[in-house]
Amino acid sequence: MSSNGGASYGADEPTSYGLQPPRPGVPEQQPGVPGPGGVPYPGNPYAAPTQVVPEQQVPQDPGAGRLIAGRYRLLSKLGHGGMGTVWRAKDETVDREVAVKEPRVPDHLPERERANVFERMRREARAAARLAHPAVVNVHDVAVVEGQPWIVMELVQGRSLGAALQEGTIGAREAARIGLEVLGALEAAHAAGILHRDVKPDNVLLGPHGRVVLTDFGIAQIEGETNLTDTGGFVGSPEFIAPERVLGQRPGPASDLWSLGVVLYTATEGVSPFRRNNTPATLQSVLNATPAAPNAAKGPLADAITALLGKDPARRPNAAQVRRLLEEAAQPPAPEPTQVADRVRIAGPGGKSVRVGRKGWIGIGAAVVAVAVAAYLVIWDPFAGPLPDGWKQHKEKDVAATLVAPPEYVRGEPDRSTDKGHWVSYTDPSYSVSIVLTLYKKSEDTLNEIAGTASSEAYQDADAMEKTDDSSFSNMAESPAPKADTTETSYDGGEAAENVVTYVDDQTDADTPRPREARIFYYKTKSGDLYKLWIDYPGKGDFTERGREVAKTAIANLDIDKP
């Protein structure tokens, strides 16, 4: 930690809040899928499953059994904070479990001020009840008991993000996913004129099926109330409060976004960036300290966190800008290595490299080179029969075709900001097998690179692969030259072609060259557009037969919209 300003009481004091780092070698889990050992929170290997204690063994909380407003029976405490206690309760009128928040205000407040606080709580709770968003906890009722508003809310089964973080940080993708849900809740609230004012991990619930819920909308904090009490205590959570609120300025949506940035930093970096050993030191660090740059969070997520923690609210990104960064960070990784390139290098005779351009055997035109370029193709069979169990059809608008893939395969597509190509890919989670469909549009072929027929294109690709040489890569490991076998076939009554390719991939790991197989299917439509569907996989080993099955099924079930 560092500080941009001198604080007499510890802005530079080391944080007292540390979390365990991610376990080395543990991959980030998919959202909603249990991790190793039944861990229910993706990307957090330390988050242990919730232990269910038989109800008869749970000691009864004082106050349990009390009936609120004639219908809400208090069962047990779920948690408590500076503004009240949350109970699990039974709505005896409709026979459902709910969460009921019992309000609490400082005892030293005069009765008139206490009444004003309760009235503002009622108004804001009713405003929050109007919000309709899946990431906003539903407020069912405001029950007034002896002048105090008891807030009746949806009971979300799960743990808080704060509880999960006590057992370890979460991965960047899962943090971005959670951040997107919280951001959506904040956008809905801000559109309704409601500020949350207490966005923190303890108010983010991780429910079943990957659901994320932000609680305590308009309840925990009341706009306009004094931040510091007479005793120096802070209403809320000081480490998550934006600098402008510490200074007593009127908060706005940017204040909630600051708090989201602190949550994301804490969740991924394993340390609360502004927490110190006491409240005054924490407030000084919020005003003056600059946290260390994100380390576990990379790329767009790190950019979002850094921008959100800007001291000046006017210079923070708005919700739309944050959403774009988090959406990018939440995307599954593209097949490795993914790159945009005009040329692909593969090993050639004598240890030299073959450089294949757009007209080369890959021919995916400045698009994707996934896991190593390759594929092995079969003749299209219009009577392929039903799909294997679990396979899914994917109607892809950008390539005007329907593609099939096994259910666990991950979808990839071009980066629209840099790549104007028309392609889509599906890759198995191990990156061993890839399916890529590319469309070359005649209307965009200004250099007349599309051959006259599908078979001509296939022959040209095969010739370029076997004969093209480039001595600038002569230092590469020696490998056999790629081999291609071209065959003319048909598709939907029209002419088509295929290339059967075998080669050695020594680009990924020069010390351990890997044999590869590839099937590439070529078809040219009546309008002159060219399709290439290629499937690549290991040329030897356990994945070879599986790759051939994937290739056969993917090609046999390719459905082009306008053949």
Mark the binding-site residues for ATP, compressed into ranges: 101
Beta-carbon contacts of 306 under 8 Å, excluding residues fewer than 6 positions away, are 293, 294
**Alpha-carbon gap, residue 167 to 178, rounded angstroms:** 17
**Alpha-carbon gap, residue 494 to 492, rounded angstroms:** 6
Going edge to edge, which strands form the sheet with 559-560? 392-396, 401-405, 559-560
Beta-bridge partner residues of 213: 205
Residue 182, CA atoms < 13 Å, CB-side half-sphere: 32
Look at the alpha carbons of 240, 322, 217, 221 in this order and tell me if their dihedral is positive or negative.
positive
Beta-bridge partner residues of 494: 491
The catalytic residue among 12, 95, 107, 198 is 198
E strand spans, 408-462 = 410-412, 423-427, 434-440
**Alpha-carbon gap, residue 521 to 523, rounded angstroms:** 7
Rounded to an integer, what is the distance from CA 36 to the centroid of its chain? 19
Which tokens hold the place of 236? 């809320």
Q: CA 128 → CA 124, 141, 214, 357, 536, distances in Å?
A: 6, 10, 12, 58, 53
- Per the annotation, the verdict on 536 as an active-site residue is no
Q: Does residue 337 have a cis peptide bond before it, meaning omega lies within 30 degrees of 0? A: yes
Give counts: helices (H), strands (E), the chain.
10, 23
Q: Which of 431, 400, 391, 439 is nearest to 552 (CA)?
A: 391
Give the phi and the psi of residue 84 in degrees, each rounded to 5.
155, -175
Beta-carbon contacts of 477 under 8 Å, excluding residues fewer than 6 positions away, are 347, 351, 506, 510, 511, 513
Look at the alpha carbons of 173, 177, 178, 183 in this order and tell me if their dihedral is positive or negative.
positive
Q: Which of 474, 479, 509, 483 is nearest to 347 (CA)?
A: 479
Beta-bridge partner residues of 205: 160, 213
**With helix as H, strand as E and coil as C, how does 104-119 read?**
CCCCCCCHHHHHHHHH
Exposed / middle / buried, residue 476 (Cβ in 10 Å: 0-12, 13-18, 19+) = middle
Going edge to edge, which strands form the sheet with 434-440? 410-412, 423-427, 434-440, 530-538, 514-524, 494-505, 483-491
Other Cβ atoms less than 10 A from the Cβ of 9: the count is: 14
Beta-carbon contacts of 401 under 8 Å, excluding residues fewer than 6 positions away, are 437, 439, 531, 558, 559, 560, 561
Annotated binding site: 101
Residue numbers annotated as active site: 198
